Structure 1
């Protein structure tokens, strides 16, 4: 970069957490032309955006983003998001051609930081500064964020087709005129404001002259008011002391009750653990009983099937027994008929044998009349043959009958055997029926017992199902608690990382003493003899939280001063700084004449009561903060004392009214002072420690919720 008037050369560019550069990356620029090449999407344009952002660009659109927080690395699948983006541009001014305000430096370092919380910082040579100072620096070099120094795609065509007014702006910036125009506009605004202030002062003076008499009456009233206010203050202090004693007693009682509640909570947690163990045991018992119920149900079904089968067999046996009895009775009747026919056949055979014996005896007795009776004999023979034929027929019939009788007897015997078998089977069936009836009775009793057990098991199952539903509700609540714990843990971790990044940045700033001037760093780093110098004034005091801004305003530049034992030590240090061209320094002499204690001012509280100096620094702070009271608002002081108060008044916000009538206040600088920065570091340490404890508690809560969800 070679603007008109001064010549500065970009030596290096450091990027950390800016867009795609999550890790700290340093670019070195040697003499000649430096080119950055690479494929699309590798971050070449991000380097140009880093230059533009480090030079103070405030428009996110010119940085290809929707909001300024888009420049902070937002994380990826492999890397988590960071809490800060930082760009450091280093210029080489070793040839002495630099803006006049920085001519004594060999290098000029411009740094810009942006935190995810929205806070931003600007540093020149590691000293916190304002955006205006950064813009003024680049105006002194003729370079701007929207000038010709950065030429991007389409910029040349835009310059060629620009209107004369736009070309004039580029030429003025290249010629270094734009800074003077900006300063002229700023001076004109200040002059206009000063004229308005003078008009208001004239009006106020005229009004004050008219109100002198009224002010004298008000002064008398104010004096009376001061006396009454002091009396009221003493009474309020007495009441506050009594209230403090009561509050301490209440605090002690609250601590005792908190301890009791903690013990009770531990006991209830133990009972909850026991109930959860009992619930698990009931769940196991329910599963076992359900298995027993299923087994007994299967057994009951099997027994009922056996009972139905036995009842069918008994019914079949009874039907078979009835058919066998009927068959036996029919066979008995048939046997009686056959026996009757056999007796008739035997009687007929006996009659025929008698007739045959009669004929034979007649033949033997009447042999003589054989011849006579040949015919009769032949007839008798024929009759005999007929009778024999009839006898043969009767014998055949008798044989058939005897065969039939034998068959019938065999059949009767078989029927008898079958009857005996049937009787035996009937007796066995009756016994089985009795056995099965007793078995059925026993099964019925077992079934009733099983049904009763089943009812009990169902009742237990219903109870356990209720507990199971309760456990399901507990699981749902545990899942909700787990999700809530994870969300709270995620938020706490993000907040802790943001606070930790801010704390590390401030600690690094304080540790490297980058917030100090070059003279103070020169003396503290041992570049010269430090005999008689104790250290920084800000390191020797602890301020009550909330009063840092007030103390810083009262001390003004002394807040970053070095403490010297004697005036000679401070003068020697100033001579050394002048001899070594190390800059200008501020010193506070610890030794000094003790001033008399001022009178009591009833309005406000002494600022010294909110400050705790280190050992050996008490008299120094008594002298620095003498006649300084802290009030809630300066309007009350002005209403009571007007523009000439008896002492200096300051508010916690930093508004100041000195005893000489000088009023200071307003929005103030965006950059915090040394005391505010140290207080912020202390507060951030406490917050980070508290967030660590909170994260640990939330991690424990999350683990407990996961265990509860898994157990449920």
Structure 2
């Protein structure tokens, strides 16, 4: 990593070259991501995606809750409408009954007033008509009647008291019913609070479930890390066991080597003894051969026959060998054809790899062409308008200057420098058309756009041709290096570049300046010298040039066309070689059949020879007695020779075993070092895993703390639910008490009715007694005059009127009580403020119809309206939450798109810059050749891998994995330095980067470092002497005395200036 911020790359650590060599294309992009600084965009994108998943999850849950709530709202809306209708009907019933009661109250009041008037009239007539002597005579009877009347009134009062008590009991029952209704409503409200508390409890438990889910995920991650740590510990133990095994094997190999050396010395002694014994037995064999020679003369005749047979056998074998030689020649020809086919296939593969690399480069260049990369905003606007409607107002546009100007690729940057901003000019045929097109656009262009028009024939040539000066530093006139393929603009190179010369270097340019005759000068390195002496210099960015890009695109397309032709030619050649290969295989098969026939003949002759040899052995058996001594001597000699050969073989084998055991010991030492490195790697991985495990455990503690908080909240909600349920149970108990009290009141009604019946019986008896007294009084005064009879009649009328008045008063009381008990309406106080309708429903038909309407509504929830309001509020809250989540989701998607766009732009910018530097550095390190960087998937630059295609001088193009070791290392170094050049730093630490380079490549590497050191200070950690030799200062640690370390520094300039004196720091 850089260690100095996202815009620098100042530390190239030890082993980074090896890691780059071993990296896959996907892993290799990490180097470019660090250089481009896009890691934060990828992290932001991943974090936004995780948040987007959570938002989608919340949206899904909210959608489910909203769907359920919509169903509840729909049901509540229907119940609320039903409750409203029921209340409306009940209000209509109430109004109709109150109107009817008011009507009855008014009629009863009118009747009671009339009765009181009639009673007053009768009383006045009775007082005026009653004579005094009748009063005296009838005093006794009147007293009796008065007494009976007093008894009657007492009975009536008792009856009235009982009636009032009954009315009070009924009123108490009605109030109990009202209390029960109020209790039921309170109980419903309590149950509603319980439901709301349950809802909050469910929400809390849902949140707690989310925390539990997160806790489980973290727990799974901790388990995974724990398992990984355990696996890494096991791997570490395995590596340590392997290390112990390798140590044991090394010790065993050393022990084996020692034993082999001892055995080799013992075999040397045995072989020397066997050689002495062999020389002694050879003397015995020579003596035995003299005896055997005399015995072999008798076998000459058989040997002559065997000689003839051997001649024939030799001829057969020669013919067989000739056939086999012809077969081998055909096989070699077949192998040659096969090698040719394989070579063509390899060349085709190389061309395909090159075609793939060039195809990727062509796609990049064509993508830049399609997006008009490098052009100004105004130029892009004009091109977009022209391409949108080629036959419209912009039909006079012929394209860009760069599209029609053809230049060689090596001169394209220099000509583009000479053209300047004119390289982005647009070719148009007519000025008036351009002026009209500019007037037709609705809004101004986003930037400036320049146009070039054909030269007018009538125009005077103000810039007459001036011959350039003669100088060896002039390469060519710039106008001669370009041509325009458009017939109307064929003079463009001369018009635009006629006064520009391409010169060798800046020194030649300054020499030509006094002789330039108005010419501007461009050096091959990109320095610009105006005709008036102005100088412009600096690095020339080839990749950013439009002409360079188009020239490279043309070369890439031409090379692709050449590769296509070469591929077709190779296909034809491959088909020809394949046909020749098949013919050679057929000839090989024919020769194989002839060889088989000759082999059969040779075997037949061999059998004849064997038969004659058998006869010869018979003869030899006859001569065996004479040759026994020679055979015994030869046997002993053969045994000694065999033993000597065996000892020699064993000695050689033992020497080989000694060498192998030494090599095995060396191999075991190497494996031991590798095992030590594996143990260190396992310990490092274990430490990283344990660090991650500790971080996850910290996160787990935080989540557990949040879960405990959630748990406390849920417990508080559970307590609240318990309290609400307790209140509901208390309310139910209270309602039960009122219900029992109501039952008790209903049970006391029969007693009131019995007492009332008894009082009515007493009243009837009192009335009978009173009637009897009045009858006696009537009989007593029957004889009186008509005045007494009239008085009696008036008294009866008065009594009837009093009874009627009492009945009307009771009716008025009943109406007043019913109106107040049923509707809390005071007839006596509020009737004066109420208007009675003209058409009154006196028969109750309307009330009965309204009652039937209320019954048809069925069971009605009177709290439905309140529930609907609460559900509507919750629905609105859910809607707001979903809108917030959808807005958050849109924001996350926009953030992801912005991160992808910015990351892609940054990555592609750095990638193209690194690719250009990589091509240059590759040529410098290899002294030529070509190298390209290509994206595996150009459509997905943020995630695809990066392929390295290199073509060293004199070799075919190949990927990094197919190159040799030295070439791969140098290519990786070139890539690292290309990244460093793209993200330069004032200083850079190179930690043993040259460890894998040989001496020749180290020299090229140090030469490149010297070039880089003009702008960057390098700190190298190295063991190569040639790398140390290129440094300005050497720093080291030495142990001047045991246990004491001393820092030493040597400046090579001071060393050379002081004649080799050492400078200590």
Q: Using CA pairs under 8 Å that are at least 6 residues apart, name the structure with larger relative contact order, 1 or 2.
A: 2
What is the TM-score when the length of structure 2 is the normalising length? 0.25
Higher helix share: 2
What is the TM-score when the length of structure 1 is the normalising length? 0.36
